[in-house]
Structure 1
Amino acid sequence: MVPRRGSVLAAMAAGFALAAAILIPPPAKAGGSASVEPLTPAGAKLFPADAALQQVWRDQLGFFEGPAWDRRAGQFVFSDIPGNRLYRWNGRGAPQAWLSGIQTSHDGAILDPERNRYMVGPNGSVVTDDGGLIFCVFGGNRIERADLITGKRTTLAASSHRGPKFTRPNDIVLAPNGGVLFTADEGLFRLVAGHVKLVEGGIHPNGLAFSPDHKRFYMTEHPDRIMRYDVDPSGHLTGRTEFVRMTGDMSFGFVDGLKTDKSGRVFAVGPGGIWIFSVDGEHIATIHAPYKRFSNLAFGGADGRTLLLTAPEGVYTLREAPDL
């Protein structure tokens, strides 16, 4: 997602700005491809030997984020923050603009000087079991729900309403004990039935995900680490520990979006691409970004093995190997 305000200047110089020409990713090791670099035997099994990113959408004036899989409709949803709209893509042809004009003012937005556009609109999103899309309105300091069929929008929470203040909500995930967890400048929050509660403050959170069995919770924390929590039977977070700390050139991107796959591996945005970790925290592979960085990712498709990867300049897909 978008970096916290405290790191805006560095992030805009390093994370938001695109190179004038394509940056060639580091060469892949034996058994890899131009897009995927396996670092261990386990990492070499993650993707076919000829795996390569496929470009779905490109717009250098956009900043793409918030990918989510709509199982009922068989399509992905993703956001363009400065474009102030949500897109849908069913795997065929070009993505279609779905909802536009989501935020009408720039009150909470950050100006991206590279594009000369405000980071005003929708950011992270998650699909619910009742056919809704819950998403963060980054520049509006609120959480909304949109009906995936009708497009009708409802505000679930706003920083100016009851409860603790939250600024520039970033990423979001369904909580196993109901409601959602979301990150914002002030920390990690929980939203249930219109009530917002600060779960943890004094941190710099970004992407977040649960393990498939909901026994672990992972969260990226600016600029370079992933934190892991235990989840107790009631769904509350306990036992915060550092899962991994990334290394590398942070001008190629800080930590950002994060997801887990069906086997519990952790896929996290880091410098230069998506860093893939085993459940034990071993760095087993990297998906290299065609430009400097990615912003987020989601798993989808009929078998849940199609990756949709968002980046500042566009959107890409990549297939995991079958039968992992």
Structure 2
Amino acid sequence: MKTSLALLLLLTTFISCEAQNPGIIAKGAQLTLVADGYDFTEGPAVAANGDVYFTDQPNDRIVKWNAADNSVTDWMKPSGRSNGLYFDHMGNLLSCADEKNELWQIDPEKKVTVLVDNFEGKCLGGPNDLWVDPKGGIYFTDPLYERPWWNHTEPQIPERRVYYISPDKRELTIVAEGFVMPNGIIGSADGKTLYIADIKDGKTYVYAVNEDGSLSDRTLFCELGSDGMTLDNQGNVYLTGDGVTVFDKNGKQIHHIQVPEKWTANVTFGGLDQKTLFITAMDSVYTLAMNVHGVR
């Protein structure tokens, strides 16, 4: 567990949250360290029962947080160097399996189906984060972060894009381009709006989602990039990097949650009522009780 210095930082974070609380954080809530000792935590995804699955990519494992008793246990190892995760509507865990630049579907019995392993015969840069729309289609970002476990060194696809897998899983199309390095992605519960962060350009964009899954009306949402992101029921957008920065639906910053780590990678809402903010940051995972809740 963390040292006394980290406990002091947590206390400072608690005081900061109380002083700046705009109503989204539960009264008296304290940022709580759930577990540490990982190498790099990422990709939190909430299951239907409120449990959260997250990744420890350097150690090639998917870890499960049990919302009922606040425990963490290894769920799958090896995991294809899983990074971003998301549950589909059938209860399968979707994974950006970075070992071979693939997108996986993992059923509850841990049977793996490879959904994507190339685009037009070329290796992807490395699927990173994803979101499932109400129809079951899958959007995923494809940045390029060189990994020590890759056999290749040069990208086969020079463009950094966002792709869409049709609900029947038969068609893979490009839906967004013009990024330096797309990373975090999240969509609204009604499936009409999609947010995409360009982390290396320090910007997050919002798009209209068309009936066929294509995107239009690209608009700058805010001048901040993000590693991962989530939404709450008020339409607030949560971006990560330096802690968690919260913007309202109009792109105005309304809060900043300090996290006592050098980098905050990702965030989602978990728990039975989805009112627990679950944060992955460096070698640790944290929770924070909220007044708002997540949306699926």
Question: Could you tell me the TM-score, scaled by structure 2's length?
Answer: 0.82
Residues 1:205 and 2:169 are matched in the alignment: no
Counterpart of 1:126 in structure 2 is 86
Query: 2:78 corresponds to which residue?
Result: 101
Paired residue for 1:293? Answer: 263
* Whole-angstrom CA distance in 2 between matches of 1:197 and 1:23: 47
In 2, Cα distance between equivalents of 1:47 and 1:274: 13
Within-5 A mapping of 1:137-156:
137-148=97-108, 150-156=109-115
Residue identity matched to 1:199: V
Over the matched positions of the two proteins, sequence identity in percent amounts to 30
CA distance in 1, matches of 2:293, 2:267: 21
Among 236, 244, 253, which residue is 2:222 paired with? Answer: 244
TM-score by length of 1: 0.76
Give the Cα separation in 2 of the matches to 1:86 and 1:225: 29
1:171 aligns with 2:129: yes
Q: What SS class does the counterpart of residue 33 from structure 1 fall into?
A: helix
User: Cα distance 1:93–1:259, how it changes in 2: closer, same or farther (>3 A)?
Assistant: closer
* 2:155 alignment partner in structure 1: none
Cα distance between partner residues in 2 of 1:75 and 1:26: 24
Which residue is 1:158 aligned to?
117
Matched, 1:187 2:161: yes
Quote the RMSD (CA, aligned, Å).
2.6
> Offset of 1:267 from its aligned partner?
0.6
Please state how far the C-alpha of 1:101 moved relative to its aligned partner: 1.4
Contact persistence 1:65–1:81 (CA under 8 A) = yes
Assess if the C-alpha contact under 8 Å between 1:123 and 1:137 holds in 2.
yes
> After alignment, is 62-71 or 73-82 more displaced?
73-82
5+ long unaligned stretches in structure 1: 1-20, 104-120, 247-253
- Residue by residue over 1:252-301, the C-alpha shift from the partner in whole angstroms, topping out at 9 and shown as x without a partner, is xx62101111111101113x211100111110001111112210011122
Equivalent position to 1:226, from 204, 207, 214: 204
Q: Residue 253 of structure 2 is aligned with which of 276, 283, 300?
A: 283
Code of the residue aligned with 1:302 in structure 2: it is L
- Provide the residue aligned with 1:36 in structure 2: 17
